[in-house]
Amino acid sequence: MMLEVDAVVDGSWGHWAIEVKTGEVDAARLCGLAEFVRRVPRYRPIVVCDPAQRHAVERLGLMACGWPDFLLDGVASV
């Protein structure tokens, strides 16, 4: 199994590991993000998703951002 994240960013706004998801979100689809932040804990995980899926992500204990907000404001919208 190959694990990956979609983006890793560093800046004055912090250190983020970003996973972008379309459609349904569940723990299995976020295993790459979870493994990355386990190995490199200075990065905060965030899932960019459809606004309707935010609660599903938050139930998994992760920060979520709807993609419209992310496109307009970036991580500042979290």
Distance from the Cα of residue 50 to its chain's centroid: 12
Confidence of residue 77 (pLDDT cuts 50, 70, 90): low
**DSSP three-state, residue 54:** helix
Tokens coding 73: 């404001």
Give this prediction's pTM: 0.89
Extended beta strands in 27-76, E state = 44-49, 63-66
DSSP letter at 30? Answer: G
pLDDT in tens, 33-69: 999 999 999 999 999 999 999 999 999 999 999 998 8
C-alpha span between 5 and 57 (Å, rounded): 15
